[in-house]
A and B are shown apart, each in its own frame.
Chain A
Amino acid sequence: MWNLIVRHLNDLVAVALFVIGFADLLFQKNMIKKVIGLNVMDSSIYLLLASQGYITGRKAPIITDGVTSAEYYINPIPSGLVLTGIVVSVSVTALLLSMTIRMYKKYHSLDLDYCLMMARGEG
């Protein structure tokens, strides 16, 4: 049992972080906390991807010392996916934060529920 947990520690942590981030994004009222939740959620997926692509004892997939055999390197595709994913989540975070600033300027609050209520009141 203990061995199993140690072997899959990365995956377990990733799933736990995913749940935490997801709940944060869903239930927090404060926009900044929501954005933090978004980043925790996305990072957990990148952790899962990166740990799935890692093979113990091998090196990063950049050719060093002229060794071209695939046996020496880890799987490069998950790393590529993580990079792409980071770019996507950075742009989403930037957009969400900029909209939060707009909302704060208009309603002087970061509480999404309160701002929704105020917006409804406008008719």
Chain B
Amino acid sequence: MDFIKNFPFFSIMLSMFCAIVLSVLNRKAAKYMTRIVLGAVVCLSVAVLFFTIKRGESYVYFMGHFPAPWGNEIRFGCLESLFSLFVSLIAFLSVVAGTKAVEDDVEDRKENLFYILVCLMTSSLLAMSYTNDLFTGYVFIEINTIAGCGLIMVRQIGKTTVTAIRYMVISILGSGLFLMGVTLLYTLTGHLLMSNIKESVAVLAKSGEYRVQFTIVIGLMLVGLAIKSGLFPFHLWIPDAYGQSNVVSSSLLSSTVSKGYIFLLIKIFVRTIGFDVIKSCGVLYICFTLGVVAMILGSVMALHEKSFRRMIAYSSIAQIGYIYMGIGLGTAAGVAAAIFHIFAHGATKSLLFISSSEFTEGSHTKTIDELKGLGYKYKFSAFCYSVGAFSIVGFPLLAGFVSKLLLGGAAIGHGAMQWIALLALAVSTILNAIYFLRTVIYLFIPDKAGEEKKQDMVPAYSMNCEDYVFGILILVMINLVLGLASGPIINIINNGLDIFS
């Protein structure tokens, strides 16, 4: 049984070596190798998840030859393995379901380069979730940024280059701030390992020393990671990046890459510095305020957007706001709700992006108005898109409902914050419903004028691409599972948070 303790390390290394090997493979081999490796990583994560749930504790895995205060470590409890399972599963399903979109968008000879980026992204996200060392976290943040930038660029139309440059520049600002935070924290505590930092911070917090310095460190890390995950005032790169790139890239960027940074932030807050210290320095109010503003403004911007893909991208800004609001509540329930929302939004957003590919690629639809009547032509995609839209609006039985319920429940009992949070949830849900249900209704409006236009549309993917059907159906099922069987998952999250601190 103890052999399973090696699996987190194996899964990081497997996807990283796969990225190296892919560079010499041809198109077809690269495609299958990526699927096999991502599938294997999913299996390894499942094994680690069951192992940690069964044992009910977390484990530390030595890297290199040096023991705790000097060496590098991997640490895994049930929360880390659940997040890794989520990341690898979404990456696997996006790659499988988006095979056709990748073939359309990427040049023939360069398809293996796309799969390299996917593997690199997966391995850096896994490392960010498993690592116990802040500087390792920083290095993998940068690898993730580079992979994300490549993912935006794979679609070779001129404007993606400019979009990718802007994404890169903004991300580098964020990682610069984060690195400064890590450096200052190292000079304050003398440690880089999260558990050691926590011990020294507890001692320093008791004596009341370096209060201002700690606030600065926490602020730098929060702002750095908020910039990278696209929280409200730093969201400017999101619509272009998600709206122009290949659908698989958009789905990976919005549902896993930005979530990886948030997960690292939660790890820093809860595990590295300690939630009590964070609460006492008032940074959480910033989280809460920005989250609430993002929830409303993101939805308002999505409402005004005419382009279909950009509308889905704007809705990501609002959903990131939900997560930060959950963290900003400052309770264990709030953080648990935020983590559940990470999973719910990831599953839903990848479903929405990939099922929208059939409308945007198949019929060259760009604006929301052009969606009219497409639901009759592309029945399968329209059905799956509707499931995603209902889930994100928060219909019962689906993932979005549970996460909204949890966020609302976590907000109750917080005085003034309670009303602000509940009001923001209500307003944002209504706006969500308006703009997402509008697209669903448009899909099923019979459109007489567009009949002749439909003749030259590409036939539905779902007719001739089993991969697409398989991937999308599993994503729909994940949404249903998160909605119907949320109890065990919430239990895992709560247990994981307990052993976190």
Contact residues of A with B, CB < 8 Å?
18, 21-22, 25-26, 31, 34, 38, 41-42, 45, 48-49, 52, 77-78, 81, 84-85, 88, 91-92, 95-96, 99-100, 102-103, 106-107, 112, 115-116, 118-120, 122
Contacts and interface: CB of A to CB of B under 8 A. Distances in A.
Given A77-B70, A116-B166, A92 B161 contact: no
A88 B135 CA distance: 12
Interface stretch (B123-131, B139-147, B378-386, B468-476): B139-147
Give the size category of B's interface with A.
20 to 34
B159 interface: yes
A21 B177 CA distance: 11
B180 interface: yes
Given A18-B180, A25-B176, A77-B70, A102 B161 contact: yes
A41 B176 contact: yes
A106 to B, nearest CB: 5
B179 interface: yes
Contact of B169 (A21, A34, A45): A34
B145 A103 contact: no
A59 to B, nearest CB: 19
Contacts of B168: 92, 95-96, 99
Contacts of A84: 135, 139
A37 B362 CA distance: 43
Interface string B374-409: 000000000000000000000000000000000000
B172 interface: yes
A76 to B, nearest CB: 9
Interface of B: 70, 135, 138-139, 142, 145-146, 149, 153, 157-159, 161-166, 168-169, 172-173, 176-177, 179-180, 183, 186-187, 192
Nearest to B163: A119
A103 B161 contact: yes
A103 B142 contact: no
Contacts of B161: 99, 102-103, 106
B159 A25 contact: no
Contacts of B164: 99
B159 A122 contact: yes
Contact of B187 (A52, A95, A99, A106): A52
A49 B183 contact: yes
A112 B162 contact: yes
A31 B192 contact: no
Given A22-B176, A84-B135, A99-B161, A112 B142 contact: no
B235 to A, nearest CB: 16
25 contacts: A22-B173, A25-B172, A31-B165, A38-B176, A49-B183, A49-B186, A52-B187, A78-B186, A81-B186, A84-B135, A88-B139, A92-B142, A92-B146, A92-B172, A96-B168, A96-B169, A99-B168, A103-B161, A103-B165, A112-B162, A112-B165, A116-B166, A118-B162, A119-B158, A119-B163
A72 to B, nearest CB: 18
Q: Which of B70, B161, B186 has the most CB of A within 10 A?
A: B161
B150 to A, nearest CB: 8
Given A22-B176, A25-B169, A115 B135 contact: no
